[in-house]
A and B are shown apart, each in its own frame.
Chain A
Amino acid sequence: MDIKVLGPGCKNCVTLEANTKAAIDTLGLEADFEKVTDYAQIAKYGIMSTPGLVIDGKVVSFGKVLKTDAIIELIKRSEAK
């Protein structure tokens, strides 16, 4: 599984990054985690509000600071597909 947090580095993005890492740890996932801070890279995903969360190349959330529980939910939903 491939998980990315998109965010130039504002406070919200840092919080989402921490929550996402916590979610990965809780699930005991073998995941490639990456924080994307470059604007050109972020732009490619087409989001207009940061932070964004990308699972396996698909934007699953943007403009929200998700709690760890909500991220676990999204990861499970992506796994089921």
Chain B
Amino acid sequence: MIVFGWLNDQLLKMEWLYNAVLWLVESVFGLSMDGRVGGSLHFFIYDVIKIFILLSVLIFVISYIQSFFPPERTRRILGRYNGVSANILGALLGTITPFCSCSSIPLFIGFTSAGLPIGVTFSFLISSPLVDLASIILLASIFNWKIAIAYVVVGLVLAVLGGTVISKANMEKYVEPFVYGNVLTEAEQDELTVKDRIVIARGQVGEIIHRVWLYILIGVGIGAAIHNWIPEEFISAILGQDNWYSVLVATIIGVPMYADIFGTLPIAEALVLKGVGLGTALSFMMGVTALSLPSMIMLKKVVKTKLLALFFSVVTIGIIIIGYTFNAIGYLFV
């Protein structure tokens, strides 16, 4: 346990980096950590470097694992299951299948054409942006393992229940007709070698960092501002534990926003440090990552408004329930 604790502190929480940045801020810049400028500068430098290091390593490892689970394979696996177990499997596979919002439509069409129930596809679509391996490790780094695991569990439960509700609502008729009855290409692609997988994984690191770096800088910037510049009274007046509507406000702010989970985490971190409830911070994070205007516009091309509205409502209500639950039992996790 001592070894694990040390590894956890140095590799995951990066205490060495915390101390190095502390030295930089105090001795090189001559700023006090208690001052606003010093404190926010430390938050910014430490978080940016930590997130970029963790992200690069994680994306590499995860992309390597993901190269074994292309969507075609996921579709074959899912086709063998029925009922709730298919939803559970869909949610689980959503965490490891490579996926970016720009491929969500071909994926939706491919799954549906193969005869998968749309509820299963939606379980997959909900869990995919919400829970992935990188976000689990980052949550463990910024908060702790208990919170990371709790986040994953509620994220998966939301995906399974959301998909099940959509299954039960008989929404098949609200899918655009062209989605059905397409051919399935099981086109012969060469089996990947270890070298191919490494090349893919390295390519993913470059591609994802290129896509999210700005979100991370903005996210950490907002986090640093919340951490040192916005008065605590102001934040707790809106998002504080005592306000019954704090979760609602966090969800309403989070849903239309579009950012990667990696950019959202530092904001959640700063909010929790300022005394905002864990549930409120999680609602905000889930709102930002699971639902966004661009993904809604894309989904609108393949499903009719009624199904889109059901998807949107189910996920939003789920996020709000998760927020209130965590605020009620949050003391178990800190």
Contact = CB atoms under 8 A, between A and B. Distances in A.
Interface of A: 8, 10, 12, 39-40, 42-50, 59-63
B227 interface: no
B70 to A, nearest CB: 7
Contacts of A46: 110, 113, 182-185
15 contacts: A8-B102, A10-B100, A12-B102, A40-B178, A42-B109, A43-B178, A44-B182, A45-B183, A46-B182, A47-B185, A48-B110, A49-B107, A50-B102, A62-B189, A63-B103
Given A48-B71, A63-B70, A43 B102 contact: no
Most buried by B among A39, A42, A60: A39
B99 to A, nearest CB: 9
Given A43-B109, A46-B110, A46-B113, A60 B102 contact: no
A38 to B, nearest CB: 10
Contacts of B103: 10, 48-50, 63
A48 B183 contact: no
Given A8-B102, A49-B106, A43 B185 contact: no
A64 to B, nearest CB: 8
Contacts of B113: 43, 46
- Chain B interface helix/strand/loop/mixed: helix
A61 B182 contact: no
A77 to B, nearest CB: 12
A8 B101 CA distance: 11
B70 A39 contact: no
A39 B102 contact: no
B315 to A, nearest CB: 22
Most buried by B among A10, A46, A62: A46
B72 interface: yes
Given A46-B182, A50-B102, 15 more contacts: A10-B102, A10-B103, A39-B301, A42-B106, A42-B109, A46-B184, A47-B106, A48-B72, A48-B75, A48-B109, A48-B110, A49-B106, A62-B185, A62-B187, A63-B70
B14 interface: no
Interface of B: 70-72, 75, 98, 100, 102-103, 105-107, 109-111, 113, 178-179, 182-185, 187, 189, 301-302
A45 B102 contact: no
Contacts of A42: 106, 109
Contacts of B105: 8, 39
Given A48-B72, A62-B187, A43 B182 contact: yes
Contacts of A12: 102
Nearest to A41: B178
A48 B184 CA distance: 9
Nearest to A60: B187
A8 B185 CA distance: 18
B196 to A, nearest CB: 10
Most buried by A among B100, B179, B185: B185
A48 B112 CA distance: 11
Given A39-B302, A59-B185, A61-B189, A48 B178 contact: no
Contacts of A63: 70-71, 103
Contacts of A8: 102, 105
A12 B75 CA distance: 23
B302 to A, nearest CB: 7
A43 B106 contact: yes
Nearest to B111: A48
The 10 closest A-B pairs by CB, nearest first: A48-B110, A46-B185, A10-B102, A48-B71, A40-B178, A43-B109, A46-B183, A59-B187, A43-B182, A46-B184
